[in-house]
A and B are shown apart, each in its own frame.
Chain A
Amino acid sequence: MSGTFTKAMARNIFYGGTVFFFLLLVALTVDTTTNLHKSDNSANLTPQVVAGKHIWETRNCIGCHTLLGEGAYFAPELGNVYPRRGPEFIKAWIQSQPTGAPGRRQMPQFHLTDQELDDLVAFLKYTSEINAQKWPPNIEG
């Protein structure tokens, strides 16, 4: 780097650039927040859905599965499991774990009550109705 480009200039560009782009991020965040209701399915964000999210978190489902493509890659995507499998299948599946099939990846038994299962399914239904810009590409997730 040549002599005309001084350290003071580099420093000023750093602070100026950082402040500018941070403020731009904040501005985009404000815009996203104001428009989020159009895509985040919050119209259907019932207390039951919130309860279901709590079950999802306290059983650490994200430690094996993805949800809208984020999480672990050990087990299937669950953002669209509601349309893929339907509510009854999901509940029966959770209740029947682990399969115990030798050598197969195993899912733990969580001993959820009927109420908790319904909450969880409500959460998965709500998640599947979020407008995720047509992701995933197909029903297999």
Chain B
Amino acid sequence: MKYTSQSVALPYFIAAIGLFVGQIVFGLAMGLQYVVGDFLFPEIPFNVARMVHTNLLIVWLLFGFMGAAYYLIPEETETELYSPKLALLMFWIFLIAGAATILGYLFVDYNTLAEMTGNNILATMGREFLEQPLLTKIGIVIVALAFLFNISMTMLKGRKTVISIVMLLGLWGLAIFFLFSFYNPGNLVKDKFYWWWVVHLWVEGVWELIMAAMLAFVLIKVTGVDREVIEKWLYVIITLALVTGLIGTGHHYFWIGTPGYWQWWGSIFSALEPIPFFAMTVFAFNMVNRRRREHPNKAAVLWALGTGVMAFLGAGVWGFLHTLAPVNFYTHGSQITAAHGHMAFYGAYVLVVLTIISYAMPLLRGRAANSQRAQVVEMWSFWLMTISMVFITLFLTAAGILQVWLQRVSDTPMPFMQVQDQISLFYWMRLWAGVVFAVGLVTYVASFFVKGESKPLITP
């Protein structure tokens, strides 16, 4: 750590990991509800568990992105953070608002929660991933603005590197596209159309900028490869991401009441979306192969390479599988979608956040790298989580293929619930893979507490 204000990243990373644990607890609960339907009913119905699971995911990734920004922006711009106090204040506001929202989901009837929090003034709730009460949404905007102000001011007074510019562009984009969550017209088709301006333009647009910038930062640090080379790659990757991803939004406009021409625009452009993810894979491996130093933090290198591979598999390969309109006609809204959603979120955004945590955390704790033993435990957690996520994806894909076949392709289509009974074996296997994932996560948390002789910090 070169600048003392970078240390505000620490609470952000700790909160991210804590909420990640919460996310997985509710994932397991839902995994069980899929096969034992009345589990936890009526205390925690499936829809409540799902909101908690997905909203915790988004919130902890946001904590991760913000922590990453607070860590890397001072180092890139070679100046202290504009206001560490503001960063800490925003941390607490975000954490408390987030926790209150989750507790609201769990302990207040959703309709009552909506009435209590101003949904009748401006109705924004009850849409997938955007279930947060109006007050929470406003809180998110305030925190985001204060955060962007802080980061932008830091950058204005410091060196403007490509990494910091791309990171900032991505974060501004994240905040701006979130504003569409306040637009909820009575016309369902329009509602759905602009809903994707948050969801798709996040994960297949501006978040890719954030991800690429974080990955580039860590790769410069652990490989020592020339900044010029890495920055050129960075521009190429994000160009590919936006050129394909912006019009690629059309792959969600096939069957929601929008004009038929979207089947062409959406299919063609989204079919090209795997290219930037492939470029990231090549980028990560290329840089590591051309490394100029052996960084003592081997675990961070593993997470970075893992991000390259898994993002390509989850977003690129599993995305491509169902993105062409004639295929999506059958797979739309099936377990195939869930399979892809899991591996893409994990491979791209979970792993990139864990990459930067792996790199930065030892430094924040005053050492160059963790002890050998701690790193071995951390690497075990990487393999446990990653391999179990591959199996979760494979089981859900198998379930999805059968589901599509029995319910949509067959000459004698079966009703939804009957099909679900037929494929429950795969849901059981997904649940067991989920248990292994949870073991991996516990291992991950444990790795922070493994003692041993760590590498001392030698500031270059």
Which A residues have a C-beta under 8 Å from some C-beta of B?
A: 1, 5-7, 10-11, 13-14, 17-18, 21-22, 24-25, 28-29, 31-33, 35-36, 38-42, 45, 49-50, 53-54, 56-64, 66-77, 98, 100-108, 110, 126-127, 130-133, 135-141
Taking the nearest CB of chain B, how far is it from the CB of A134, in angstroms? 8
- Could you pull out 29 A-B pairs where Cβ atoms are within 8 angstroms? A1-B236, A7-B162, A10-B239, A11-B162, A17-B239, A21-B246, A21-B247, A28-B247, A32-B193, A35-B259, A53-B186, A58-B126, A59-B126, A60-B47, A60-B131, A62-B128, A63-B47, A68-B188, A68-B192, A70-B333, A74-B34, A103-B37, A105-B38, A105-B420, A132-B256, A133-B260, A137-B330, A137-B409, A138-B413
* A58 with B414, Cβ < 8 A, contacts A36-B258, A77-B333 known: no
* Nearest-CB residue, chain A, relative to B50: A63
B338 interfacial by beta-carbon distance below 8 Å? yes
Taking the nearest CB of chain A, how far is it from the CB of B72, in angstroms? 19
* A45 with B337, Cβ < 8 A, contacts A132-B256, A140-B408 known: no
Q: Which segment, of B79-87, B224-232, B298-306, B373-381, faces chain A?
A: B224-232
Q: How far is the CA of A6 from the CA of B162 in the complex (A)?
A: 13
The answer to whether A45 and B187 touch across the interface, beta carbons within 8 angstroms, is yes
Q: How far is the CA of A21 from the CA of B276 in the complex (A)?
A: 16
The answer to whether B265 and A64 touch across the interface, beta carbons within 8 angstroms, is no
B42 interfacial by beta-carbon distance below 8 Å? yes
Q: How far is the CA of A140 from the CA of B253 in the complex (A)?
A: 21
* Nearest-CB residue, chain A, relative to B414: A140
* Nearest-CB residue, chain A, relative to B250: A28
Looking at chain B's contact residues, is the secondary structure mostly helix, strand, loop, or mixed? helix
Contacts of B111 in A (CB 8 A): 58-59, 110
Q: How far is the CA of A47 from the CA of B127 in the complex (A)?
A: 20
Taking the nearest CB of chain A, how far is it from the CB of B43, in angstroms? 11
The answer to whether B258 and A39 touch across the interface, beta carbons within 8 angstroms, is yes
Q: How far is the CA of A133 from the CA of B264 in the complex (A)?
A: 13
* Nearest-CB residue, chain B, relative to A50: B186
The answer to whether A40 and B257 touch across the interface, beta carbons within 8 angstroms, is yes
